Structure 1
Amino acid sequence: MDFAGQVAWITGASSGIGAALARELAGRGVNCILSGRDEARLQAVADDLAAEALILPFDVRDDAALADATAQAIGWKGQVDIAIANAGISQRSRATRTDMAVYREIIDVDLTAQIAFSQGLIGHMSERGSGHLLFISSIAGKVGVPMRTAYCAAKFGLAGYADALRAELSPSGVEVHVIYPGSVATDVSRNALTADGSRRGKSDKAIDEGIPAGEAAKTMIDAMALNQREIIVARGMEQAMGELRRTPDQLFDQVAAMVANGYMEKMEAEG
């Protein structure tokens, strides 16, 4: 699939997977909108891209800022063709010691804010009859992983929202993809929250030896180009765990058929 000339909007684009996705897409001729909280780091990514870029720095939890950014994003080229809900925070703490504030923050950033991001674009994409929504979940969004209860809750939830949204949008021409990365070599572990909400500040061996972010990004975009709905990007045991929990395409098709047969209209008519 040729994406040249299209527009992609990426949250969490200042580093890691988000920045790698921007570089991969720009290399394919895609104009990129980069969002995150750190304007200087976003600018550094933009300066490294092979296509046009627009920087829209804001906190994904700020609804007013998100609404303003959405209007600017659509207005930049008149369209957003690819939206990547990537912003997120991980966790490294056992449940019995973790403050509820940590659960609320991770779920707010990793789930609620990413839903709000996509909600602002689904009308625009549906009206145009095309588009790709990518949600960056995790292998931890398929398999409950110790020391990550809040993170797993958010990433499982993001996948559930995306799967239901895919069914609703199935008649519209908008494609929905959920990406399940395993260990990718980024700062995700250093930036993870500990039991009291403080930043962990150190990495894991599995992350440091993980898939290079550029390689992971290429795999993700190649799979999107093939319209794969569930995209597992992992190696070894993590890949095996993800594949074990993979949703059969027949099930996705069955739920889409419910929509095609008027399921939503019947539910709305019943009140």
Structure 2
Amino acid sequence: MNFNNKIIWITGASSGIGKSLAITLSHYDCKLILSARRQTALENVRAMCKQPEQIAVLTLDLAETDTLTTVTETAISIFGRIDMLINNGGISQRSPIIDTSIAVDRKLMEVDYLGTVALSKALLPHFVAQQSGHYVVVSSLMGKFSSPLRSAYCGAKHALHGFFDAMRLEHDKDNVKVTMICPGFVNTNVARNALTADGSKQGDQDEMTENGLDVDVFVQKMITAIRKEKFEAYIGKFEKFGVFVKRLSPRLIHKLVLRSKVR
């Protein structure tokens, strides 16, 4: 597939991967809808894009699932249809299981899983009616195997794979595509914004994230995966091979992660 004449809706578009995606895709012959919670930040991203007149800004909060049907109706009305939803919005977490409030687990599930699912379900009748549509879901390598201090995040990302695998099966007949994007370490503010045991933000960067893929390099690889309509794409440095090690030996990936510096 290509992006020409497509209408693409991106969540989490105010920073990080979403921001880079918006700027990169604005150089194609397509129209964009940029969503996140912060109107001003979205407007700033829009101003950085090529042909900003082809880009709309629509605020939403993935935690407010009851509002997402109305938000979706508004999104469809902006350009008359939507061809692709890039589910990029979400938060991360860094804290030991034993110390982590259940409210943090709930928050991760509400935003990363239920928010994404609610938005995707709200858009599904539109995709079915036009007999085409493409969901791109930014999951994580942590949706395929786990590491310490990310229990709530890993749980939410694993859940996304279960849901969207079912979506792909049920709506193959409707030409609805699903691409799961699984980033490894990408140099964004995801670690700084990660929730700690009491729900406060971590506030600082970790070494592995700091040394991760440049976000613009990541986005180019992500775009290639979307073009190829891949079912899943694992994008990172050495850490992406953990997916294949897990398939061969769950015990081995356990030992390798324990020995790593991933904390």
The TM-score with structure 2 as length reference comes to 0.90
Q: Distance in 2 between matches of 1:115 and 1:196?
A: 25
Conservation of the 8 A alpha-carbon contact between 1:135 and 1:159: no
1:22 counterpart = 2:22 = yes
Report the number of matched residues.
245
Superposed, which structure 2 residues align to 1:8-87 within 5 Å?
8-51=8-51, 52-87=54-89
Q: Distance in 2 between matches of 1:22 and 1:30?
A: 11
SS of 1:135's equivalent? strand
Q: Give me the identity figure in percent.
A: 38
Alignment of 1:187-202 (within 5 A): 187-202=189-204
Bigger Cα displacement from structure 2, 172-181 vs 43-52: 43-52
The aligned counterpart of 2:226 is: 224
Residue by residue over 1:9-35, the C-alpha shift from the partner in whole angstroms, topping out at 9 and shown as x without a partner, is: 111110001111112222222211111
Whether contact under 8 Å (2:65, 2:114) holds in the other structure is: no
Name the residue aligned to 2:241.
240
Please report how far the alpha carbon of residue 245 of structure 1 lies from its aligned counterpart in structure 2 after TM superposition: 4.7
Per-residue CA distance 1:147-167 (angstroms, 9 max, x = gap): 000000000001111111101
Structure 1 gap segments, 5+ residues each: 247-271
Counterpart Cα distance in 1 of 2:34 and 2:90: 15
Question: What amino acid is aligned across from residue 38 of structure 1 in structure 2?
Answer: R
Following the alignment from structure 1 to structure 2, what is the Cα–Cα distance between the partners of residues 43 and 90?
Answer: 24
- What is the one-letter code of the residue matched to 1:37? R
Q: What are the superposed Cα offsets for residues 93-146 of structure 1, whole Å, 9 maximum, x if unpaired?
A: 000010000000011100000000100111111111111101111011111111
Deviating runs (4+, > 6 A) in structure 1? Answer: none
Give the match's secondary structure for 1:45.
helix
Rounded Cα–Cα distance in structure 1 between residues aligned with 2:178 and 2:92? 23
Cα deviation code 1:188-223 (max 9, x no counterpart)? 000000011100000111111111111111111111
Please, which of 141, 147, 153 is the counterpart of residue 145 of structure 1? 147
Residue 69 of structure 1 deviates from its aligned partner by 1.7
The answer to whether the Cα contact below 8 Å between 1:32 and 1:54 also exists between their aligned partners in 2 is yes
- CA RMSD, Structure 1 to Structure 2 (Å): 1.2
1:185 corresponds to which residue?
187
- Report the Cα distance in structure 2 between the residues aligned to 1:141 and 1:179, rounded to whole angstroms: 10
Could you report, residue by residue, the CA deviation over 1:30-65 in whole angstroms, capped at 9, with x for unpaired residues?
A: 211111111110001111112411111121122343
Amino acid of the structure 2 residue aligned with 1:173: N
Q: Which residue of 2 aligns with 1:132?
A: 134
Determine if contact 2:11/2:36 at 8 Å carries over to the other structure. Answer: yes
Query: Match of 1:250?
Result: none
CA contact (8 A) 2:9 2:32 kept: yes
Given the two structures, how large is their TM-score scaled by the length of structure 1? 0.87
- The whole-number CA distance in structure 2 between the counterparts of 1:144 and 1:154 is 11
SS of residue matched to 1:232: strand
